[in-house]
Amino acid sequence: MTLRQCLTHTAGLREYYTLCAISGVPLAEISEERLIRLIAGQRDLDFEPGTAYSYSNSGYMLAAAVIRRLTGQSVTRYAAEHIFGPLGMGRTHFRDDLGALVPGLANGYAPDPGRPGEFRRADPIEECVGDGGIVTSIRDLVPWQAFLLAGKGLGVDIRDGLLDRAVLADGTALDYANGLEHTVVADQPGYAHTGAISGFRSVILCLPGAGLGVSVLANRVDVYPALIARWVANLALGAPANAGRTDPIPVAEAEASRAGLIGSWHDPERDVLTRLDPGPDGRLEQPGGDGERSQYALAADGAWYGEGSAVSMAYQLDGERLLERATVGEQDLGRFERVPTPTAVTEPPAGAYYSQELAAFATFEPGRGADPATVTIGLSSPRPLEQVAPDGYLADRWLTLRIVDAGQTLLVSADGAHHVRFAAVPPASEIRRDIRGLT
């Protein structure tokens, strides 16, 4: 793979956020050295480099490590001297030391799942930066928008280099460039990128033909700045604020339409399972981790648009397939096929599996009474298992598990990390027998 592929999410690298979530490794414990060991320890890619696109922060973490090795400076120091300094962005920096005081820094917030309408603090815990973790302000983003609009400060050649679209091995040109995605707003071509970290969301939208740049920063995770930026741009360009988005249709029509979507779905390319349930007022509900349930409302264009924390997502039937799409842009995030309902519940095997890639065990425990079977992977807490396909389970409603090779291999998949392999660990009695045979 190349650095260019790392920066365009076409390298096939597994997403380190997903790998940490699978194995329960706290992000607060991740250093650059440990992160590189995690990435280097992966024996498989999600796809051959240059043949597909899958968003992965791992590539940007490797790019930050390259900067350190080539210059002897951290990406924080290098960016301050070569990017933010020349642009006059004096209050902008990569925050690689959470203990350092930052005057005027906002706290992050997320809805409190136990108290509707209330919020909880949700602040970043990552000190390993390169893929994000930038502290900035609306005022500091003005010179950044001037750079994107006309190359001011760093030069048109660097600006244009950022905008080169990625091209796959088969010649397909992607909308994604280098940390920026080409888009169209109110018939104006431009580019944008969103950001998200614990407690915060953001977006930068730039439309050079209109001489317009829009930046939106939010210190709460239940809003979607990309939609706000589009509404602002539409209004500035004389278009309806909600152009391109249709209102929900009546509840009775939605209830009739959702019957074809309720049930379990499988994306064979990512080997990811999901389930859609009937929700209130004609909506669809999608179970998620930690008891969260995302809701989707049907609009007149036939798409089911996410609400609240799911506002960036939409689902739409395409013949027999279910497309998972980004609300902003035309990108398909997943293509699902209907999964037959299991005719009989199969108890997952008891015992343990081991992944050399994650240096973690996956241990199954059978269900007892009303309590479901669980799996514990690495440092994670026990995750309840739900069988949603004849050969597949959801762990904590977001992690796909499949047991193959006559029970000898466990495949764990999630968005950004496909087919992480765990090999069956022989029972202790067999290990003792083998040891006796050797002696």
* Backbone torsions φ then ψ of 195, nearest 5 degrees: -140, 150
Give every strand in the sheet of 181-185, ordered side by side: 181-185, 188-197, 200-207, 212-218
Determine how many CB atoms are found less than 10 A away from the CB of residue 250: 11
Stronger pLDDT, 288 or 190, i.e. the higher one: 190
**Distance between CA atoms of residues 127 and 9, nearest Å:** 22
Q: What's the CA gap between 90 and 103, in Å, rounded?
A: 12
**What per-residue string of b and e applies to 37-55 under the rule 16 or more CB within 10 Å gives b?**
ebbeebeebbbeebebbbe
Q: Is the pLDDT of residue 368 over 90?
A: no
Distance of CA 193 to the CA centre of its chain: 14
pLDDT: is 436 or 33 the higher one? 33
Helix (H) or strand (E) holding 385: strand 383-389
Residue-wise pLDDT tens digits, 268-315: 988 898 889 999 999 999 987 666 788 899 998 889 988 876 777 899
Q: pLDDT digit string (tens) for 104-149?
A: 999 999 988 788 889 999 998 889 999 999 999 999 999 999 999 9
288 touches 294 (CB < 8 A): yes
Where does 69-167 show beta strands of DSSP type E?
Answer: 93-94, 109-111, 119-121, 134-135
- Adjacent-strand bridge partners of 361: 354
Instruction: Confirm if 315 and 332 have CB atoms less than 8 A apart.
Output: no
17 band by pLDDT with thresholds 50, 70 and 90: very high
226 vs 326: which has the higher pLDDT: 226
User: Which residues fall within 8 angstroms of residue 421, CB to CB, at 6 or more apart?
Assistant: 43, 44, 355, 357, 409, 410, 411
Mean of per-residue pLDDT scores for the chain: 89
Average of per-residue pLDDT across 202-217: 96
Q: What percent of the chain has pLDDT over 70?
A: 94
What is the pLDDT at residue 239?
Answer: 87
Residue 350: the pLDDT is 80
Q: How far is CA 412 from CA 35, 354, 421, in A?
A: 20, 12, 7
The two structure tokens encoding residue 143: 């010179």
Contacts of residue 102, defined as CB under 8 A and 6 or more positions apart, other chains included, come to 95, 135
Q: What are the distances in angstroms from CA 243 to CA 228, 233, 246, 250?
A: 12, 10, 8, 20
| Per-residue pLDDT at 289 | 66
438 CB-contact burial (10 Å; exposed 0-12 / middle 13-18 / buried 19+): exposed
Closest CA to 140 of 131, 153, 125, 157: 153
Question: How close are the terminal C-alpha atoms of the chain, in Å?
Answer: 46
Decide if pLDDT at 45 tops 70. yes
Contact 174, 165 (CB under 8 A): yes
Q: In whole angstroms, give the CA distance from residue 439 to residue 437.
A: 6
401 pLDDT higher than 90: yes
Q: Is the pLDDT of residue 19 over 60?
A: yes
428: left (phi over 0), alpha (psi -120 to 50) or beta: alpha
Q: 246: pLDDT confidence band, cut at 50, 70 and 90?
A: low
Q: Report the pLDDT value the prediction gives residue 209, as an integer from 0 to 100.
A: 95
Task: Provide the pLDDT for residue 291.
Answer: 63
- Mean pLDDT value across residues 177-191: 93
Residue 17 and residue 290: Cα distance in Å, rounded? 17
Q: Is the pLDDT of residue 207 over 90?
A: yes
pLDDT tier at 370, thresholds 50, 70, 90: confident
Is pLDDT of 329 > 90?
no
Lowest mean pLDDT among 33-42, 53-62, 339-348: 339-348
Quote the pLDDT of residue 290. Answer: 62
* Maximum average pLDDT range among 5-19, 24-38, 107-121, 364-378: 5-19
Q: What average pLDDT does the segment 13-33 reach? A: 91
Q: Mean pLDDT over residues 317-328, rounded?
A: 87
Band of residue 237 on the pLDDT scale cut at 50, 70, 90? very high
Q: Taking a C-beta distance cutoff of 8 angstroms, is the pair 24, 380 a contact?
A: yes
pLDDT at 428: 62
Question: At 245, is the pLDDT very low, low, confident or very high (cuts 50, 70, 90)?
Answer: low
Q: Which run of H or of E encompasses 150?
A: helix 141-150
Residue 74: C-alpha distances to residues 30, 96, 210, 292 (Å): 16, 9, 37, 37
Beta bridge partners of 196: 201
- Rounded to an integer, the average pLDDT of 188-204 is 93
At residue 363, the pLDDT reads 95
Q: Which of 228, 245, 157, 168 is nearest to 192 (CA)?
A: 228
Residue 122 is encoded by which pair of tokens? 């949700």
Report all structural domains of the chain as residue ranges with CATH numbers, in order of start: 1-72 (no CATH), 91-243 (3.40.710.10), 251-338 (2.40.128), 351-429 (2.40.128.50)
- The tens digit of pLDDT for each residue in 248-266 reads 788 999 999 998 899 889 9
Note whether 314 and 307 are within 8 A (CB).
Answer: no
| Res 389: pLDDT | 82
pLDDT at site 255: 92
